[in-house]
């Protein structure tokens, strides 16, 4: 069994370059089914990305990786039922629904997997695609979808700005005749990146402040695109530096992507400097608490950064409060943090973190992707040697995680046999 062994206490310092955003790469890979040839730069080597590539291959595409560039040829794409185990491997496989409907006029996919963050229904995806004219039936854990007449543009108002539903509808609407307007759409930077990719393929997608407009049914062509930097990887390294009293610079970071996190880090006593394409953090000897952090859709504080901030706040000089507004069950890492001595009280969606002087080492298990990253942050700051298992969660989202942390001075190593599947 693979495990991370982390000897805590080293102050992180130095600079690293951020990977491409997982949450951009995944929808773009699904959308690549619709282009001809795609050259995708800055695509991180992650198990979720491999799963998306494997799905593309089962649909007749060829996929080749050279470093961080993926070459995808969808010229011979043909309909196939993607194998259930691939669809279940990650939640964003649901994005292939919109792409397959647009490309083949049909799709049969199993309900997606992904992090265990509560119910995570896909009703908004289904409702949106139905409005575009798709016929969708649910049967025994599968979604069977087809179109009897071409998809047709329409107005869709989402009850909540769901990232995945916005992306799925955007992808499908590029093939729909006429104009689609998505209201109350998600506005995460990854949505803008997907739009830029599709526009680079010849689509017309316009992001306004309160709606997304898609003029569909334009012929799509080959495209070369660079994935935006990963703002959640940025949050993770910033919190790791904050928790260890460190001083780091993140190359290729974009200020706007992390704009909601900067005031929180400043409240915690960190000094932040934003350059043209880099961001640096200098932490105080001991962090101050954050009065209240509420997770919200972009441009609010991202739910994906909640766990790593919580890990850093465990040793702040006082009590902090968090409110998780996006997912109903996103505190699974709390029990593991408490094994390291953290004092955290949960009541429904609210967490109160009472800062203690120092965390201690423990054997802990990743519960989900970002929860796993939080355990790494905590272990880096803790006294003694911690062992972290269930690394498959972390491997879904962090490329070269240990290597980058070692570069910053962390004492971290991976042991045990690799249990991952194939990585493209």
Assess 236 for contact with ligand UD1 (CB under 6 A). Answer: no
Assess 131 for contact with ligand UD1 (CB under 6 A). Answer: no
Of residues 72, 84, 17, 11, the one with CA closest to residue 40: 72
Question: What is the smallest separation between the CB atom of 368 and ligand UD1, expressed in angstroms?
Answer: 10
Assess 112 for contact with ligand UD1 (CB under 6 A). Answer: no
Of residues 117, 119, 110, 59, the one with CA closest to residue 85: 110
Give the residue closest to ligand UD1 by C-beta.
164
* Alpha-carbon span 173 to 373, nearest angstrom: 35
Whether residue 242 contacts residue 265, with contact meaning beta carbons closer than 8 Å, is answered with yes
CA 3 to chain centre: 22
Looking up tokens 């009897």 gives 148
Among 30, 145, 163, 173, binds ligand UD1 (CB under 6 A): 163
- Specify the stretch interacting with ligand UD1 by CB under 6 A; choose among 157-165, 284-292, 349-357, 403-411: 157-165
Among 174, 236, 280, 303, binds ligand UD1 (CB under 6 A): 303
Question: What is the smallest separation between the CB atom of 356 and ligand UD1, expressed in angstroms?
Answer: 28
Size of the site for ligand UD1 (CB under 6 A): 22
Assess 145 for contact with ligand UD1 (CB under 6 A). Answer: no
Assess 91 for contact with ligand UD1 (CB under 6 A). Answer: yes
Looking up tokens 């959308």 gives 31
Among 28, 102, 107, 122, binds ligand UD1 (CB under 6 A): 122
Whether residue 242 contacts residue 268, with contact meaning beta carbons closer than 8 Å, is answered with yes
Task: Give 159 or 284: the residue with its C-beta nearer to ligand UD1.
Answer: 159
Query: Residue 191: which region, alpha, beta or left (left: phi > 0; alpha: psi -120 to 50)?
Result: alpha
- Specify the stretch interacting with ligand UD1 by CB under 6 A; choose among 4-12, 131-139, 162-170, 255-263: 162-170
Among 10, 38, 93, 162, binds ligand UD1 (CB under 6 A): 162
* Alpha-carbon span 376 to 368, nearest angstrom: 12
CA 121 to chain centre: 17
Assess 75 for contact with ligand UD1 (CB under 6 A). Answer: no
Assess 124 for contact with ligand UD1 (CB under 6 A). Answer: yes
Rule CB under 6 A: which of 314-353 touch ligand UD1? 326-327
Catalytic residue among 53, 115, 201, 239: 115
- Specify the stretch interacting with ligand UD1 by CB under 6 A; choose among 10-18, 51-59, 120-128, 169-177: 120-128
In the residue annotation, 145 being an active-site residue is answered as no
Assess 26 for contact with ligand UD1 (CB under 6 A). Answer: yes
* Alpha-carbon span 188 to 201, nearest angstrom: 21
Looking up tokens 């490329």 gives 399
Assess 244 for contact with ligand UD1 (CB under 6 A). Answer: no
Among 123, 137, 138, 420, binds ligand UD1 (CB under 6 A): 123
Question: What is the smallest separation between the CB atom of 267 and ligand UD1, expressed in angstroms?
Answer: 22
Task: Give 233 or 336: the residue with its C-beta nearer to ligand UD1.
Answer: 233
Assess 160 for contact with ligand UD1 (CB under 6 A). Answer: yes
DSSP string, 271-336: EEEE-SSEEEEE--SSPPP-SEEEB-STTSB-GGGHHHHHHHHTTSSSEEEEE--S-TT--THHHH
* Alpha-carbon span 363 to 345, nearest angstrom: 21
Residue 153, token pair as written in the block = 């543009």
* Alpha-carbon span 44 to 46, nearest angstrom: 6
Catalytic residue numbers, as ranges: 115
| Residues lying near ligand UD1 in the complex (CB under 6 A) | 23, 26, 91-92, 119-125, 160, 162-165, 186, 190, 303-304, 326-327
């Amino acid at each position: 069994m693979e495990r991370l062994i982390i000897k805590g206490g080293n102050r992180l310092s130095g600079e690293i370059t951020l990977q491409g955003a997982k949450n951009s790469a995944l929808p773009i890979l699904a959308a690549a089914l619709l282009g001809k040839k795609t050259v995708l730069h800055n695509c991180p080597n992650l198990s979720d990305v491999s799963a998306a590539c494997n799905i593309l291959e089962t649909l007749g595409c060829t996929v080749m990786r050279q470093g961080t560039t993926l070459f995808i040829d969808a010229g011979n794409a043909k309909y196939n039922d993607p194998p259930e185990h691939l669809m279940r491997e990650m939640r964003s496989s649901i994005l292939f629904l919109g792409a397959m409907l647009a490309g083949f006029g049909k799709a049969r996919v199993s309900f997606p997997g992904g992090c265990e963050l509560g119910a995570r229904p896909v009703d908004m995806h289904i409702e949106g695609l139905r409005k575009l004219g798709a016929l969708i039936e649910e049967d025994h854990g599968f979604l069977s979808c087809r179109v009897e007449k071409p998809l047709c543009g329409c107005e869709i108002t989402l009850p909540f700005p769901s990232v995945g539903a916005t992306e799925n509808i955007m992808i499908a609407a590029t093939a729909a005749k006429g104009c689609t307007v998505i209201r109350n759409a998600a506005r995460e930077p990854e949505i803008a990146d997907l739009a830029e990719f599709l526009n680079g393929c010849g689509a017309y997608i316009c992001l306004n402040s309160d709606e997304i407009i898609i003029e569909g049914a334009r012929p799509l062509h080959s495209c070369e695109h660079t994935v935006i930097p990963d703002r959640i990887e940025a949050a993770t390294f910033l919190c790791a530096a904050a928790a260890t009293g460190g001083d780091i610079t993140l190359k290729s970071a974009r200020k706007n992507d992390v704009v909601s996190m900067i005031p929180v880090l400043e409240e915690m006593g960190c000094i932040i400097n934003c350059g043209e394409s880099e961001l640096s953090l200098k932490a105080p000897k001991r962090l101050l608490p954050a009065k209240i952090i509420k997770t919200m859709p972009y441009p609010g504080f991202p739910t994906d950064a909640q766990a790593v901030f919580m890990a850093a706040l465990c040793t702040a000089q006082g009590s902090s409060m968090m409110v998780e507004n996006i997912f109903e069950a996103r505190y699974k890492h709390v029990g593991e943090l408490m094994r390291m001595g953290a004092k955290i009280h949960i009541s429904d969606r609210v967490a109160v973190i009472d800062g203690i002087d120092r965390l201690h080492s423990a054997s802990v298990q990743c519960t989900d992707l970002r929860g796993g990253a939080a355990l790494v942050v905590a272990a880096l700051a803790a006294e003694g040697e911690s062992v972290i298992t269930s690394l498959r969660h972390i491997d879904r989202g962090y490329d070269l995680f240990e290597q980058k942390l070692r570069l910053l001075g962390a004492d971290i190593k991976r042991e045990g046999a690799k249990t991952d599947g194939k990585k493209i």
